[in-house]
A and B are shown apart, each in its own frame.
Chain A
Amino acid sequence: MSRFFRQAGDSDSDSSESESELMTSGDEEAPSKLTAPAPKPAMSRFLRTAGSDSSDSESEESTDTDSEAGPEGDGDETDDEGERPGVRIMSAQEKRLKEMEATGKVMDNALKINDWVAISTEFDKLVRMIQRQHNVSEPIPPFYVRTLVNLESSVNNALAKEKESKKKMNATNAKALTAMKQKIKRAIKEYETDVKKYLEDPEAFNREYVALVSREPIAPAAPGSRGVTATTGDDTAVEEFTTVGKGGRGVQFTSEGIFKNLQAVQEARGKKNTDRAEQIRILEKLLEVAVTPYQRIRVLLALISSRFDYNSSVSTHMPTELWLAAQREVDQLVSIIASDSNFSIQEVTEDYDELIERSASTERGVVHVRGSIISFIDRLDDEFTRSLQNIDPHGTEYVDRLKDEKVLYCTICRAQAFYEKTNQNDPLGRVIMRRLEHIYSKPNAVVQALEAAVDDSDVKPSMTLVAQGGTAALVHGLCVHLYKAGNSLLRTRAMLSHIYHHALHNDFHTARDMLLMSHLQESIHSADVATQILYNRTVVQLGLCAFRSGLIKEAQATLQDIFTTQRVKELLAQGVHQQRFQVLTPEQEKAEKQRQLPFHMHINTELLEAAFLVSSMLIEIPLLASIDSEELKRKAISKPFRRLLDFADRQVFTGPPESTRDHIMQASKALQDGEWGTCRDLIQSIKIWSLMPEAAAVKEMLAKRIQEQGLRTYLFTYAPHYSTLSLSLLSRTFSLPLRTVSSIVSKMIWNEELSASLDQSGGIVLFHRIDLSRPQQLAQVIAEKAAAMVDQNEKALDVKMGGTGGWGERTDGSKGEKRGEQTQERRGRGERTRGARGGSRGGRGTRFSQGLGNQMPGQLTQRAS
């Protein structure tokens, strides 16, 4: 009812309403709603209106509602109105005014009963409201000034009365009164001019205010939450409202009104009832009409953000079409910015008026626009990863989605080119890291495909595959840039990616040296979870690389750590570990899920296991054969392997092998029995090898190793039964060249693993078997144990002293021997550091689920080079 009334009456206050609606950002609305109903008892309203009659004139709005809506439930009704679409919406400004008046009424009441405490609190509230009014740069309503003047006089009166009266006020009241006096004084001083003006001529002051309020909304803008109408000027306001009233949607977009529309959309952003799809549509339309580069930049910035806003929930991913559109728009944005050096997008800019068209000429130089391309790129990449996490990796959809990586990669490269051109080092580092992450784990062919797409685009970064001449060089170039860039997190990640890349390309030595020299294994446990996962991946890849290159020992040592934890999948972020004894909270589970790598980046765990078990077999089986006492047997090099072997031993009946593990276990048994041929066949028939690059070469290498280790096992096992053995027979049995056989036997003799000697003329091995008596054996054992104990003690002391073994250096003579070994194994030390940390990694692993990178006390002190 009141709506029609007022609409007919004046249109400018109407637009002021919509204007103030815009001002109401989320946080402002909330408190006003909260406070509004409280100080509005029906009676107080009557009292106030009766008390101060001049209030009618202050704003038409308040009179409207006051007189016509009636006292009962008036507050509620207006609130409702605010929510209801189509019905006239009460502007925030009006609301504020009403609140103020309500506060004023409460104060009046309190004044009557001389309750200064209540007055004081109410006054504070009022001041706060005024403050807010100030913040949105609205003029001070005369109501406030009037209240001030009134209050001043009442305070003075009260004080005077207080002096005269015999009966004192109670203490709190008195205190409140004096406090009130101070406050009033301060407030009056603050608004001195206003107060003076008011005192001179209250009517004039009121008029001035009304005029100010109505003049202010020069920049009206679009509609509130639901109204999709875009007003293009003051004069159309009336017309607009009629359209809305009929429920239709007047949509007019012109390039002049673009900023207003934009602002409207931005205001609506993040609100509860905003229809995001609608917003995107508006922005798309706006983009069509945008003419100048500035307009386009502004619209694009808003459009991309709102596309990312489309899915608010964390669990689901962005729809592909939306993502693609966003990707295209980022591209567009980058090319606009890159082509026109007059504009720049920055995260921090000076304030500027959002509603004015700006260009290089108006700004006298470069136009800075608020926004951040790098965060768009980050978001785009993250969304891509998330979608891959959510799509079933075995369907065609996944593959289709994967094809989009190409365009994403192009976008990243364009951004890199852009940042290179504008010399922004920080975002450049981030964007290069993104690029690196897309290529470091990929085989050459894929990288070439990605890079080919970049070559076609118009903007190229300084580093491309063609320019660098090879993937390794490209990765190297990117990494070197990041090493220099000084951001330590990026440096660490770049380092790990670089090592991974080397390992992927079978460059074991370089990768290992880089890993050891980076000293990352000492600090990685304090890194964030994602980096730790990358570290695990790198180490695992290094192990696979060693395996491919035939470095069985290294492969075993490297892979051992991760397999002893028995949580390979979890540590590589390739699957959530099923915990038997503890249940994850939903949050933990969610965090865990988010960490998962997309399927195409997975390292095949079965292949990994096969590599680990086979290398364990090649090391463990000869070792098992070489030791004869039960006690020594307990010292296992590879516990997981030994456990599986024991399990297989206990099996009464063994069927034909099915799984990879079965194959390896049966192969191990065959190797123990000296049947290397069976062993080789079993190992080679494992299907998973086909996933390994250069599978044929690897199989060949394995066959050779099996022959050699078979020979060693055979010698260890059967030496006691022979006094001589012909070398040629051995060579025939194991189909090894005679030279290799004699080399292996010589090595065993030299290392005193085998008590035998060669008779060169006869071409035979002579065994010298010495049987030890029981006490002799025991003596040996105890000697060994004593030595081990001293070693342990020394190690313990080393740790305790924390230094680099400084105490031992002085006793050169006695310790010399041991120290010699230490230096010999300098290289081994690195490996051992890793090994020794295996335990700590296990410990770290347990913390993965909680997402905490826990600090581990450094157990080993690496001798600084």
Chain B
Amino acid sequence: MSPEQTILLSILVPFLGAALIPLTWANPNIRETITLITGAILFYLVSSIYPVVAGGAQPSVILFEMLPGLAIAFTVEPLGMIFAAIVSFLWIITTVYSIGYMRGHDEQNQTRFYVLFAIAIGAAIGIAFAGNMLTLFVFYEVLTISTFPLVTHHGTPEAKRAGRVYLGILLTTSIAFQLVAIIWTWSLVGTLDFTQGGILNGKVGGLTAAILLGLYVFGIGKAALMPFHRWLPAAMVAPTPVSALLHAVAVVKAGVFTVLKVAVYIFGVDFLFSIEASQWFLYLAAATVLIASLVAMSKDNLKARLAYSTISQLSYIILGAMLASDLGVIGGGMHIAMHAFGKITLFFCAGAYIVAAHKTEISHMHGIGRVMPLTTAAFLIGSLSIIGLPPMGGLWSKWYLALGALESGHLVIVGVLMVSSLLNVAYLLEIPFKGFFAGAEDNPEPQAHHEHDSDHDHRFDRKQPRQIKEAPLACLIAISITSAGCLILFFYPDPVYNLMRLIVAP
């Protein structure tokens, strides 16, 4: 099979899976088997493109013309390769996790859940492989729409409110800013193809470039740059597997991935460096990193805290793009991979706490490490990776981001990265430490409105014998794999690094 056919197939496969799943007529075993097989095929297809791209080729295929002169086209370049590989690999893991979670939590409408999940993955692969900005935009919007019913999955008034915020912000930014930026680019330079060195390079003046950059950066609402970040915490009402894969990996990474694509292939790193406006966004991203970390510290709900942590981490990648230096771009690209593994581990753990112990608030989790030691250990590993400590993969991306900041002479940014790491320590390590070392006497009385707490006795006491009550096995398998991933990426970051190297030094 030629790489071109593989590209088309890998975009088609998730959608085919989505079409097959409802045919199983709510037989959960067959339904989930189909999802797993689809995921496995997808991962096989995507990884079979890897050697081609790593060898320096960029296989490309034009599907058809949508507008005269503007085609739906796909090109696999290194950055897209990384994104697609992460998404397709983590999809398999998340499916395993979902089986445990969705059944353990007795969720409704599971078939719809699996169908929309598959569509969202297909859209993410489409974004990863998009050969021009129009194709990317099409799949970007498909991703927005297909994830909306997942956010409102529970159908409660709270879910509905969250859905409004989600759709409102993502659609407003993409329609009002991103689309205009795309059409403007098209009418200025007559192409939207992702081209090494950038298509706007030298074709537009400083002011136009500054406005365009603003329209792109704010228009990519999925990157959650402040002040357009509110949708991400809102989306946390979704079932945890959705938060884990989509709102910690696929959707948000699609956002920052698009920012990187725009920086590298629409503007071009050199041109971006020459635009003064890139520095404004650099400092806006830096501010987002710090503010979101501070907000995360104030959140007691674990998923909300992780959501703000995600906002903060996403801005690392935007920062990497706006540094407009080779090392910054490498750091940004690597952070897509490193953060994906770290954050999905943390979300998996958060879900495990909900399923096994019915805990959502951090202040109720004192001593939980003695009941769920594996989950809490995994949480520790994920936290260390996010903080960027060895021996976790997260170290490398921070390393290159800091080098990139030094290369472009932004010492302040180096400082921001350091302060942010300290803040990460403060808000992430609290959970495993109190989980392992604090006793139940530190737990506040269960509150009346927490129904789950009243019918279970979850006051973990240091003096009582340990009663291990872990999450379902499927969840634990998924958690172990992703936390192992954090470790492996420390020792073998080469595949990711080598791909990113190709972008800056072809």
Q: A and B: real partners?
A: no
